[in-house]
Structure 1
């Protein structure tokens, strides 16, 4: 069992292409049927951060995925949903091939089966907690690519350094997608729940990247915008 939680909050942001999660917790009692709560969860999750209707209500989410059979397990999340609590279901990143062995299939179904079926029945949004997928793009084999193909920061002196560049080419980013998304486990989940209203990929946001105050270290930035831009401009473009 996880902690005794009455109501909670979730806020998701996106930095470049990578989302991350900030959890907030409150103590307001949940009310209503599971259908009503599912409708409320779906509605609030799909609202813009600050639209005509105001800011959406927060939903509970957590970094602990219960992957060791303890804490915020999918089974405990199902109990919270059935009790009418407002959570954004969160799951461990699907890995490997569930069809590789009976053991793999059993572990996959034990972890994902019931909660994915519930989310599909109630059209709930879901999120998957991953790693820093893009970190692979600053490995040596990528830094040694020609400058026009290199996703890393190219300095004013023409050296590729181990930081991701927001001004680099897009195509290399297909490699993390192939590594982490084009997998048998992820495809199985897509078959199990083909039409979720929202899917969030949650990064731990620790890959080395070019920060706004370092913008002038980038040759691409300097060629495009020059020196001396205000801080707010640098924050915006990075």
Structure 2
């Protein structure tokens, strides 16, 4: 049993190493990140003579392997999308991996139906048949509901139709709130599905979705782990 210490000065490097050996994953990472500035501050203010956390590597944060959404989760979100706006919002997240804020920021000029292109956050994407149909449905609904609006945003509501500002993130994500397959989960699942389908190549993911290096590598690593697990399963 470890005896309680009366002062920070009594804590040794071995004490820290013994403690963190009892932790794993994000707990180990978070505790070391918290302890380091504490002892750095204590040394700077003369409370200790030596920092017991020095030269102890925090190490790279180990994320859990991502898991794809199951069809039932997606089906429930699809069933919850009951209006032209929410159906389009769902497609933008699930097909084009758009973030909630990016969806709310879309303006009419971002839609090029003739050339079948859609610009999201400055990146031009091909317009698939499903999203094109949902865009047409939403644009027709918008024309009938707010024929005189001056708001150039693609997605407007009763509050923003008389203004020029975009709809809030809260309104944009409202229909999927409480679902397992939220807009954020659908966005992540789309990017993960790309890694599973086209191979765990972080460069490909970064190019398709504009991801940063660390995020692309996380998707690729998770996809590689799941593909490896699937390959090891015996044939039925």
TM-score range, shorter chain: under 0.3
Structure with more helix by fraction = 2
For normalisation by structure 2, the TM-score amounts to 0.20
